[in-house]
Structure 1
Amino acid sequence: MSDILKLSEARKGARGVIVQVGDHGHHIDHAVELERRLLELGFVEGARVELLHEGLFGRDPIAMKVDDMRVALRRHEAASISIRLETAAA
């Protein structure tokens, strides 16, 4: 069984695959702009992500590996990305 959660809820070391970028139900200008920026940074459906580091204060910002790039985001930005967590290999 696979777990889907917001990237902002993931913990250091979590790995998964992006299943949705943005909130496709709302079209508020700043939400559309954030979705566009995330897509430009490589946060696209099907990309593999791994949470590498969390900031000291409020665990913000978070650094992650997206395919072969390293990117840092604020948690409120990462909240608009849904991932399917990988299960640990047996």
Structure 2
Amino acid sequence: MIINGNVQAVAGAYSVSSAGGVKRAASAREVEKSDEVLLSHEGQSFSSMLQKLQSMDDVRGEKVQNLSAKVADGSYNVSGENIAASLLGVRF
């Protein structure tokens, strides 16, 4: 839209579009439908899985303790090839 200094025309265009919005809002109040959400079976299944995951701990304490003990006593060894493969798998 190009405004060429005719502010009254711009204000008039705005008031016309505003009046239409008020009319629509009034008719929407008269109908007053209730909202309803229906989830598919997959959506319900996903919701229950998500709730289970959210209730789980973020860290698996047993596994962390086990690996920490192995690192501390020097028995935790990972080959460079496995590390490289994991890095490439994550990146690509």
Query: Could you say which structure has the greater relative contact order, defined with CA pairs below 8 angstroms and 6 or more residues apart?
Result: 1
Larger radius of gyration: 2
Q: Give the structure with the higher percent strand.
A: 1
